[in-house]
Every structure is written in structure tokens, then in C-alpha cells.
Amino acid sequence: MWTADLLESHVSYPMLTLFRPQHPGQSWVTALGVVTDAATLTSACGEGAQSREPYFPYRRGRRAIVEISSLLHVPEVAVGQTWLVEENFEAAWRMLAETGLPLRDKAEAWADLQDLRSTYGDQLERLIDFLVAPRGFWGHSAEETVAVEVAVAASEARRKARGG
């Protein structure tokens, strides 16, 4: 429901896309990426999931990413390195297996994951860059990233305050 509400509000009032969060390391587009990627992973890996609940947030998330990117005229620039690598998939697969969720054939799930994410992945990455939003999924947490950024900024501020 949140993804549908986000799509409606941000397409109806595009200025909302530019609002910054009150807390560092947080962003609506980061949250949209997390929700959509989680739904995509579950749709690709879960037995029968492509016709049930996980598939719906994947479709809504993909639509939100595509429509909002189009509305904002996000430039079609080359996307750098993707998080969608086999090592990350292996880690996610292990976590899903530990939940006891009935899983599909691993090779088929990997191929489907790549297929599904190709429908929105590059646009999501460009939208995150366009909005200067934090990356908080697949490989590192936003909290860790912010903690490092705050530590570096604090160190720099102390250095400048000492006159150096």
C-alpha cells in the first residue's frame, strides 16, 4: 500500500520528490528501492511467488520508479557498477533458505532476478543519483554509511577548528 500511496502522491505533486528527509541516510527513494528489491528477490526466488503477494509490490515499485523518473526527466546516463552480482545473490539466497521459505531452482531464480530487476534497476540507480539520495541496500547499510560520513565530517571540522 505504501508504494501505491508513494506513486500517487509523488506523481500528483512532483515537488515532493525533492524534499529531503529530517535524518541523514534516509530517503523515500532509498526506501522505495529496498521495498522493490525485496519484492523482486522474493518474486524471483519464492516458489509460486510470481503470481502472489510479492509480485504486486514488485510491479507497483517498478511502476513508481519508471513514472517518477520520467516525470523528473532523469537523464539517461550510464550506470556504474550494479549490486546485482552472484555473490550478493548467494548471500540473499542463504538468508531466504534459513527462513524455511519454499524456494525455486536456484539457477532459475538467479536468471529471473536478473530479468525482473532489469525492468527498473538502472532507472532506480539514476533516480538515486539524480536526487543525491543514500544507497542503503544490497551490500551496506545507510546507518553505517552515515556513521562514516559523520565521522569524516567531524574530523575535518575539528582539524579546521585547530587551524590546520
* pLDDT for 136: 63
Q: What is the pTM of this model?
A: 0.78
Other C-beta atoms closer than 10 Å to the C-beta of 127 total 22
* pLDDT for 141: 52
Rounded distance, CA 113 to CA 37, Å?
9
Q: Over the Cα atoms of the chain, what is R_g?
A: 18
| Per-run averaged pLDDT (10 residues), the chain, 164 residues | 90 88 81 92 87 84 95 87 84 91 94 94 91 68 60 76 75
* pLDDT for 139: 46
